[in-house]
Structures are given as C-alpha cells and as structure tokens.
Structure 1
Amino acid sequence: MSTPTTTISADADLVTLVNVFTVAPERQIELVDALDGATSEVFLAVPGFVSANLHVSLDGHRVVNYAQWTSEQRYKEALQRPDVREHLAEAAAIAEAYDPTLVRVRSIHHPHGQQA
C-alpha cells in the first residue's frame, strides 16, 4: 500500500492555504494535536478539501498548516460551516496569533530536476 502524498505543482488548479500560527512553545504540541484532530474528524469530509500538512518550528513558537483546496470558493464555503468554525475557534484559543493566506504555486525548484 502506498502512502498518500501532497502533490505540489505549478500546473495544478488548486489553491493553497498557508496558515502560520504563533504559539507558546509549551502549547505547540497541543495546537498540532487540535489541528490534526480537526483535519481527521472534520476537514476530510469537507467538499473541496484536498490535503493538509502540519509543520512545527524547531524553536517551538510556530505551527504551519499547508492545506490544499480545489478552489478559493470551496475554501470560503468551508469557512461558513459550523463544524469548521468550531475547529477554528479551538485553534485560535490555543494560538497567540495566526495568519491564514491563500496562495497559488508559481514555481518549483529541485537540485536534480527541471524548474516547474
């Protein structure tokens, strides 16, 4: 069985949410656990959701959520759902700050491959 992966492509017709959370180091894992649980329990069933990847900073002060969506419209519709809003409130209560930004992949570089 293969492990699912996130595909990053400049050709994909997706939008990406890059959300950088600032958090007290002693609460970093609590925030990751809350985001991880919400993704498993809520987002996997939300129309338009493609994938999420959670990253933790080595200094303990940040958590980065890199999440792909089929469209900006689907992402905005998700934000109106009560179950999603409940999850956002839980994460916001743990984090000191957060900065969600929707982006598109513009270019990709690899040391042994072509620029995409």
Structure 2
Amino acid sequence: MSGSEVTFINVIDVDPSKQAEVIKLLQEGTESVISKRPGFVSVTLLASKDGSRVVNIAKWKSAADIQATQGDPAAAEFAKRTAALAKASPGIFEVVGEYSA
C-alpha cells in the first residue's frame, strides 16, 4: 500500500434487536481506545435503517497503524465483545477515487 491514509471498513451484520448494543459498544471502544491510538484520524459509524447492519469506517495514517491497533489488547477486547454480538467483515482499503458535486 502507498504511504497515504488508509481506511478500515468493517461491515457488521447484526440481529436488529442488538443493533443499538453494537453501536454503543463501538462508540465506547472508539472513545476510550481507538481514538487514542497512534495514527488514528477519524471514525464514522453508520446504522442501517432496517437494523441489520452497522458499518464502521475508520481512517488511519497507515496500514501499519491499523495492524498495531488490532494487536493492542484493549482494542482486541472490544473486537471480541463485538464478535459475541454480531458477525463482522473487516477490511483495509485505500481511496482510488473520490467524487463530489
């Protein structure tokens, strides 16, 4: 990957009855752990209107910063707690096009 910012996207499939709980957990993890990690830029959390998904979009300075965070015990604990509630499909992406009006 290039030296430019990278984006970690995690699409989380969840039972609609647990969507609010997953969102609260992601907010807590972001505020207490993720946002304090080296290389952190921003997080956007999205909730599907039907309650079946949550999307976590995190921008980082590098893929190495993401990998270091994934190895952090506090971050891993939040990932484990999320996995107990829902099915996550994470990936690391780099922007290849961006358009606006």
TM-score, normalising length from structure 1? 0.82
Q: Deviation string for 1:19-69 (max 9, x for gaps)?
A: 000000010010000000110011111111111110001111000000001
Point out where structure 2 has 5 or more consecutive residues left out of the alignment: none
What does residue 89 of structure 1 align with? 80
Q: Distance in 2 between matches of 1:19 and 1:75?
A: 12
Aligned identity (percent) is 34
Name the SS for the 2:11 alignment partner. strand
Misfit runs of 4+, over 3 Å:
none
Aligned letter for 1:47? P
Paired residue total: 99
TM-score, normalising length from structure 2? 0.93
Structure whose residues are more often strand by fraction: 2
Name the SS for the 1:29 alignment partner. helix
- Aligned-pair Cα RMSD in Å: 1.2
Q: Report the Cα offset of residue 71 of structure 1.
A: 0.5
Aligned letter for 1:91? T
Name the SS for the 1:58 alignment partner. coil
Asked if 1:105 is matched to 2:95, the reply is yes
Aligned letter for 2:96? R
Q: Report the Cα offset of residue 73 of structure 1.
A: 0.7
Alignment of structure 1 residues 1-116 onto 2, 5 Å: 13-95=4-86, 97-111=87-101
Structure whose residues are more often helix by fraction: 2
